[in-house]
Amino acid sequence: MWLPELNLGTLFIDGGWGPSSAGTVFESTNPATGETIGTLSAGDATDTRRAIAAAATAQPEWAARTAYDRSAVLYEAHRLMRERADDLAHLMTVEQGKPLRAARNEVNYGADFLLWFAEEAKRVYGAMIPSPRADQRFLVMHKPVGVVAAITPWNYPISMITRKVAPAIAAGCTVVLKPAEQTPICAVAIFELLAEAGLPPGVANLITTERPEPVGAEMLASPLVRKLTFTGSTEVGKRLAGEAASRMKRVSVELGGHAPFIVFGDADPSHAAKGAALVKFLNTGQACICPNRIFVHRSLVGEFVATFTERVAALKAGNGLEAGISIGPLIDRTALEKMNRHVSDAVSKGATLVAGGEQLTGEAFGQGAFFAPTILSNVTPEMTIYREETFGPIAPVITFDDESEVVAMANDTSYGLASYVYTRDIGLALRVTEALDFGIVGINDINPTAAAAPFGGMKESGLGREGAQEGLAEYLETKLVGLSI
């Protein structure tokens, strides 16, 4: 199996690979088999300080390069990533567990951010604003925020890195990134590729570790770090954003979700059920945009659940390297315990278990934490699954009767990331879209994401947007110039 070079150590600081200062290591394992894939350096506060210093030294020179120079590095990184797509996808399946086809999609999605921000790097425009004074002109210009601390999760171990690093680099910032402890080798592979693409020393630095706290604390304590960009759980994101705010650092946080998926009475139930099965079980339900509450109009619920059940029955669980697999393992046993807790709580409060509901064991599943794709119907607001992000392959179906009721139910959550609406009535679609407190709405569409589109949530799903023009603005300061003539 292809792996990036790990022997020199996996901290990438000031353009060189090396071990942690304390010499400590940790292992990355395959969630489908429990086998060790590789040994990584476990960075700590000292290493993080060194990486921040390198980023701070490199930043003025990187910002002084032309946008065309910065863009050229991103174009080359994009080319290398596409060239290595098969190896990267294979690595991702082995380290994170998602089926190979889904891993290929993620590699392409991750590469799209390199391309998009290679293009956007050249479009950081300023403005000239008329002044109320005849002898004055206003100029607006942008400058990079400075050193960025980036923290990423395991569920999208490549695209969550490029979604942050590409705009930071394009803007003229420098970065210190801490990837998730479950998927550090994917991060090493991306940093190897960035170095090969010609990124100067210190512009992007990587701290792999299995102890996130001291690394995060150092990132937040350092006055050299001007921005925190975090993707992960709402619990950790709120804590880190709070600390960053107390030090007046800029913050972007992409957090958890609890997406409503609303099927109105005029929708095509087969089309909606097909969409629900695809997006609910994406990455084994471990995506922030996965539906967590599927609201179906009473007139359609029987037909919808029947088609949905047929589709779910066709999903095959197993090692993502094998052909025909669409459900990989959960990331760990804690996730498995959460699935059991959500199912037993819902069933004890009156939900009907339509499909699945148990851990999958046996030879085909080895040591992996596999859970059967599950459908619960008659789910109600008293159940834990109605409130907590499940982050696994359980689809709760809730029946509703009218538009205002379902909008209120959909918005009855502290989250506000993705939402989905199925209807053939354009007026209804627009009314509901306007009423939903979510950053993303898919109308008869289960994939409302792309590098060109602003991704992000409202309420406790986060602050800021990634991708699109907005994604670059997150890494730029605005400077106003008053010019007396």
Cβ nearer to ligand NAP, comparing 178 with 226: 178
Q: Which is nearer to ligand NAP, 31 or 462 (CB)?
A: 462
Residue found by looking up tokens 């003025």 in the block = 60
Structure tokens at 337: 């315990």
Whole-angstrom distance, CA of residue 187 vs CA of residue 267: 42
Name the minimum Å distance from CB 212 to ligand NAP. Answer: 3
Q: How far is the CB of 457 from ligand NAP (least distance, A)?
A: 6
Q: In the block, which residue shows the tokens 């990533």? A: 81
Both tokens of residue 174?
């420098």
Closest CB 213 distance from ligand NAP, rounded Å = 4
Q: Residue 149's beta-bridge partner residues?
A: 176, 228
List the catalytic residue out of 288, 389, 460, 466.
Answer: 288
Exposure string for 71-86, b = 16+ CB within 10 A, e = fewer: bbbbebbbbbbeebbe
Q: In the bound complex, what is the minimum distance in angstroms from residue 154's beta carbon to ligand NAP?
A: 5
- CA 406/CA 266 separation, integer angstroms: 15
Residue 290 among the catalytic residues:
no
In sequence order, which ranges of 180-268 are alpha helices (DSSP H)?
A: 184-196, 212-221, 234-246
CA angle 316, 319, 320 (to 5 degrees): 80
Under the rule (CB under 6 A), what is the footprint of ligand NAP? 151-156, 160, 178, 180-181, 210, 212-213, 216, 231-233, 236, 240, 254-257, 288, 389, 391, 417, 457, 462
Query: What is the bridge-based pairing of β-strands 352-355 and 374-377?
Result: antiparallel
Least distance in angstroms from the C-beta of 104 to ligand NAP = 18
Question: In the complex, what is the shortest distance from the CB of residue 149 to ligand NAP, in angstroms, rounded to a whole number?
Answer: 9
Identify which of residues 70 and 293 has a Cβ nearer to ligand NAP in the complex: 293
Task: Name which of 149 and 273 has its Cβ closer to ligand NAP.
Answer: 149
In the residue annotation, 288 being an active-site residue is answered as yes
Query: How crowded is residue 293: how many other Cβ atoms within 10 Å of its Cβ?
Result: 24
Give me Rg for the CA atoms of the chain.
23
* Strand positions, DSSP E, 127-182: 127-130, 136-144, 147-151, 174-178
Which residues lie below 8 Å from residue 88, measured CB to CB, with a gap of 6+? 81, 103, 107, 158, 186, 189
Tell me, what DSSP letter sits at residue 155? S
Closest contact distance (angstroms) between CB of 404 and ligand NAP is: 28
Decide if 32 contacts 319 (C-beta within 8 A): yes
Q: Could you tell me if 130 and 438 are in contact, meaning their C-beta atoms sit under 8 angstroms apart? A: no
Catalytic residue among 95, 106, 218, 254: 254
How many other C-beta atoms are found inside a 10 Å radius of the C-beta of residue 125?
8
* Least distance to ligand NAP, CB of residue 322, Å: 25
| Residue with smaller CB distance to ligand NAP, 295 or 391 | 391
Nearer to ligand NAP, 236 or 453 (CB): 236
Residue 12 or 264 with smaller CB distance to ligand NAP: 12
Read out DSSP for 327-362?
A: B--BSSHHHHHHHHHHHHHHHHTT-EEEE--SEE-S
CA distances from 341 to 215, 348, 388, 412 (A): 32, 10, 11, 22
Residues annotated as catalytic (active site), given as ranges:
254, 288
